[in-house]
Structure 1
Amino acid sequence: MSVYIDSHKAVLKQVGDLFLDMYSPLPNHHLNHFNPSDGDGYSEIYDFGKLCVGKGKYWVDRPLKMSAETPHHLFGITILLSGTHRIKNHCTQHEYQIRSPMIILRKGSLGLQTIYLQEHKEMSLISLDFNNTFLESIKNHFQHSDLAQFFLTGSSPALKTIHIPNKNALHQAHYLLNLPPAQSSIDLLHLEGAALELMSTLLEDSAKTNDVPLSIKKTISILETNFESKITIRTLAKQVGINECDLKRLFKEYTDKTIGHYLLEIRMKYAQALLKKGVSTENVAIQIGYSSTQYFKKIYERYFGYRC
């Protein structure tokens, strides 16, 4: 059995009967349902070797607190997608008030912790856990990533909160969360692929932010936040406070993409995620800023090499 799943079960055992263990015939897969006497929801965890992915969505009928101690030295990333978590670390007596969307970085044995849950508030999260072997495999490729540096620097137990790098990571996290609980080996492959893509997106986006001029960071933020709107170089330049030529030159220098290609990439990835959820092409076109469905289909086919 997986050390991650064993650790997960040990933590749930410490918090009583809040979660009910559900049988899963799938290898290295564990599923729990929230006890209906306390609330509703589920948690799911799957260890596929390189990475262990967990996801859950639940809400409680009354204020609750869960106290538990993680029995193993682990590395992990928790992405809080909805709700507010208040966490108390009893070793340091430090309290964290974490509002979604937010990322929690974890390393080491953090000792006894208490999580306070708010009543009638949906809480949803993704967790990605890994070991030293995985860290070694990413060290050479992502050593300049702020996120990777948290795990690669120092050996003392630590917890840190950071913002989600950009919309791409947020969209991928929601896509992963909304995958239905696995019922077959094919479902596990979907879960594994989505988790690896999310991890890659988090590491790449974190690495890209290092030493990037503020004007380019602002430009990226505008593109990711307003990608469905009509965006021009002139408008962007005014918003970030530099001239158009410098904006185009610096953006290409630090992202290795033109502004137009970067915007197209954001739109196409978001479109692909919507299509995976079953949204019609007409609605997808509208949501990403195209007034013509036919034009959107043409751009999509040109970008991905297949028809949507």
Structure 2
Amino acid sequence: MPIYIDLHQAMLKQVGDVFLDTQSQLPNHYLNRLNPAQGNGYRERYDFGKLCVGKGKYWLHHPLTIKTKVSTHIFGITILLSGTHYIKNHQSNIKYEIRSPMIILRKGNLGVQTIYLPANKNMSLISLDFNESLLPVIGSTFEQHELATFFLNTSMPAIKTIHIPNKDVLHQAHYLLNAPPAQSSINLLHLEGAALELLSLILHKNTQIDQIPALIQETINILENQFENKITIRHLSKMVGTNECDLKRLFKEHTGKTIGEFLLSIRMRHAQILLKEGISVENTANRIGYSSSQYFKQIFERYFGYSF
């Protein structure tokens, strides 16, 4: 089994039966379901050699404290898309409160860490782990980038948080998160390509130009995680603490879409995934927020230009 999956499984064993093993038939892939006694959700890993992709979604019935020891020297990027993580690194004795959406940079031998996860909150993340073989590429191509400085400077702390730089990174991360588990080698190639595209977007030199305001990131997070509910702009504006006019204007300015268009794209993306998995049209419509399957069919055909 590849090194990153070995490391991940060893860490999960340290926290008991929180996550249960579900072995995949595909090479270099491992899936762990959350123990139903703890909540619901999953974490999975795809190890492509130079790059290991992890993703997870989960909801806990009760607060959970996880204490693990990471003794392997690795480099990693974690994109926290929803929820809040509280982390204490015992090696540096530094405590972190990391609220989504946020990027966590990791490097070196982190030693013992304690992670506190709150209850009754949607939590989702993407992680990209890699070894020293990618550092020369990062250093030569992105030498002035904030991430390159972090990974190449040995005097910097082992953990650092940065804001998600632009909408393209956020969209690609959610796309990767919502992609269904791979069922074939072709699916693996697609996932590897999507992960490399995400890494490229994060490292792009011009990413700081298009900084997304926190309230727009929060709005996107709500839409991504509550798309199956009836969502009004009035309700959204109250949740993120601004007025309706400013929210509509800023959202369009920073995403290139209206709130309605963005919500529709999320629902249609999920509809494609559910239909591909064999879910009936009626159940798919219901699960993405439409009470009428006939209306859903009309919307789907208008959006994609083909029927099913």
Same fold (TM over 0.5): yes
Confirm or deny: 8 A CA contact 1:168 1:266 kept in the other structure: no
Mapped to 2, the partners of 1:101 and 1:158 lie a distance apart of: 20
Distance 1:265-1:139 versus aligned 2 partners, 3 A rule: farther
Distance 1:38-1:105 versus aligned 2 partners, 3 A rule: same
What is the one-letter code of the residue matched to 2:101? Answer: P
Q: Which residue of 2 aligns with 1:160?
A: 160
Q: Which residue of 2 aligns with 1:179?
A: 179
Confirm or deny: 8 A CA contact 2:201 2:207 kept in the other structure: no
Confirm or deny: 8 A CA contact 1:17 1:35 kept in the other structure: yes
Q: Secondary structure at the match of 2:190?
A: helix
Q: Could you state the TM-score of these two structures normalised by the residue count of structure 1?
A: 0.69
How far the C-alpha of 1:173 sits from its partner, in A, is 0.5
Mapped to 2, the partners of 1:65 and 1:221 lie a distance apart of: 31
Give structure 1 regions of 4+ aligned residues with deviation exceeding 4 angstroms: 263-267, 273-279
Q: Which has the larger radius of gyration?
A: 1
Confirm or deny: 8 A CA contact 2:67 2:112 kept in the other structure: yes
Mapped to 2, the partners of 1:221 and 1:158 lie a distance apart of: 27
Task: State the Cα deviation string for residues 147-181 of structure 1 (Å, max 9, x = none).
Answer: 12210122666100110001110111111100112
Q: Secondary structure at the match of 2:86?
A: strand
CA-atom RMSD, angstroms?
3.4
Mapped to 2, the partners of 1:123 and 1:264 lie a distance apart of: 24
Confirm or deny: 8 A CA contact 1:22 1:33 kept in the other structure: yes
Q: Which residue of 2 aligns with 1:38?
A: 38
Q: Which residue of 1 aligns with 2:296?
A: none
Q: Secondary structure at the match of 1:134?
A: helix
Q: Could you state the TM-score of these two structures normalised by the residue count of structure 2?
A: 0.69
Distance 1:33-1:265 versus aligned 2 partners, 3 A rule: closer
What is the one-letter code of the residue matched to 1:208? Answer: N
How far the C-alpha of 1:185 sits from its partner, in A, is 1.6
Mapped to 2, the partners of 1:5 and 1:97 lie a distance apart of: 26
Confirm or deny: 8 A CA contact 1:70 1:109 kept in the other structure: yes
Mapped to 2, the partners of 1:276 and 1:82 lie a distance apart of: 18
Unpaired segments ≥5 residues, structure 1: 227-262, 280-292, 298-308
2:113 counterpart of 1:113? yes
Mapped to 2, the partners of 1:15 and 1:264 lie a distance apart of: 40
2:192 counterpart of 1:192? yes
How far the C-alpha of 1:266 sits from its partner, in A, is 5.5
Q: Which residue of 2 aligns with 1:78?
A: 78
Q: Secondary structure at the match of 2:144?
A: coil
Mapped to 2, the partners of 1:154 and 1:91 lie a distance apart of: 15
Mapped to 1, the partners of 2:160 and 2:203 lie a distance apart of: 16
Mapped to 1, the partners of 2:254 and 2:93 lie a distance apart of: 47
Confirm or deny: 8 A CA contact 1:109 1:157 kept in the other structure: no
Q: Which residue of 2 aligns with 1:208?
A: 206
Mapped to 2, the partners of 1:70 and 1:182 lie a distance apart of: 27
Q: Secondary structure at the match of 1:180?
A: coil
Q: Which residue of 1 aligns with 2:287?
A: none
Q: Which residue of 1 aligns with 2:142?
A: 142
Q: Which residue of 2 aligns with 1:53?
A: 53
